[in-house]
Amino acid sequence: MSKVQTLGDIPKKMKAVVNYAPGDFRLEEVDVPQIGEGEVLLRVGGCGICAGDVKTFHGAPRIWGGDGQPAYISTPVIPGHEFYGQVVALGEGAGEKYGLKLGDWAVSEQIVPCGKCRYCLRGQYWMCEVHNIYGFQKGVADGGFAEYIRLPKTAVNYKLPDNFPLQLGPYVEPLGCAIHAVERADIQLEDFVVVAGLGTLGLGMLQAARLKHPSMLVAVDLKPKRLELAKRLGADLALNPAEEDVIARVKGLTGGYGCDVYIHASGSPKGVIQGLSMIRKLGRYVEFSVFNEPTTVDWSIIGDVKELDIRGAHLSPYTYPLAIKFLNDGTVKADEIITHEFPLTEFKKAMEVAERGEDAIKVVLKP
């Protein structure tokens, strides 16, 4: 039997939000996870609510088919993948593997790679064929809507610096994703860049893109408050499609050509069509969205008309160290992005606030 180090006494039971089915999320008392060799137990400090969590709560979008939850979700399962927590137990070898000790604060990448498929073996672990992600697969990797969370043996974990502002812990995961999307965009110094969709991800993408020093950085969104925040966070120009023809505006600013790079993070089909119309020939389009419905577009724009580079962006491979550094040293600002905190007992209200998005951007659940 492997040895487990613990930080004081760990209770046998904990409170957790459990997903049973669309619309059937329950606050329950469940067993605190047991850990084994190479595993870590965190006392959760907080967990952000992702747009994917809200969509899971309501059931599968039409694009996935049916009214149930996506096929990759198996229930009952504890949701939540944007978490941070304090190390309260270490399985044998886990401390050495991750550079962790009891009492440290830590985060874990959202994916728990299998370590055996062709992608994992090639270092492309974020595209793992098994693709277990915290909060979606029963019995594999329960998530952070709980008081404690087990980090499995193949998890990708990181220690937070001792002086890290813990209130920003839930933003490490979204920022890691945002950095990856910007890296996929391959932004050059002379590029005219547009970031469309200024939610949690888009505002991170905007700040990461600013670090690439493009010639012009434009933010696009329908919400005036988010546009104002984008300007404070580094946008040269903030445009609202409800108030002006943003395609004509961008083309007017680029001699009629269009933007060099378009990064889409709104999850809206209209944003796709907007981007394909706005981008110049030979431009780079990066997609990082989960859609509620399919997008219909004249596909010839991509090849016959503009010969575009269409690049997907998924998760946050190798970007957590940068995300942690940028939040720790203030390079990326998140104080105004994390807008709401709720206790676990008010998870339904938290979901509603996150979904409406009127004044909320990132909503966090606190155990």
Q: Where are the domains of the chain?
A: 4-160+337-366, 178-312
Question: What's the CATH number for 178-312?
Answer: 3.40.50.720
Q: Is 150 exposed, middle or buried (0-12, 13-18, 19+ CB in 10 A)?
A: buried
Low-confidence ranges of the chain (pLDDT < 70): 1, 60-72
Residue 74 confidence (pLDDT): 84
Measured distance CA(223)–CA(147) in Å, rounded: 34
- Domain spanning 4-160+337-366, CATH class: alpha beta
Measured distance CA(240)–CA(346) in Å, rounded: 33
Angle between helix axes 172-185 and 320-329 (nearest 10 degrees) is 110
Residue 356 confidence (pLDDT): 86
Hey, do 4-160+337-366 and 178-312 end up sharing a CATH topology, with the first three levels equal?
A: no
Q: What is the pLDDT of residues 241-287, one digit of tens each?
A: 999 999 999 999 999 999 999 999 999 999 999 999 999 999 999 99
Three-class secondary structure of residue 309 per DSSP: strand
Three-class secondary structure of residue 105 per DSSP: strand
Bridge partner residues of 342 (DSSP): 365
Residue 249 confidence (pLDDT): 98
- Which phi and psi (to 5°) does residue 149 adopt? -140, 140
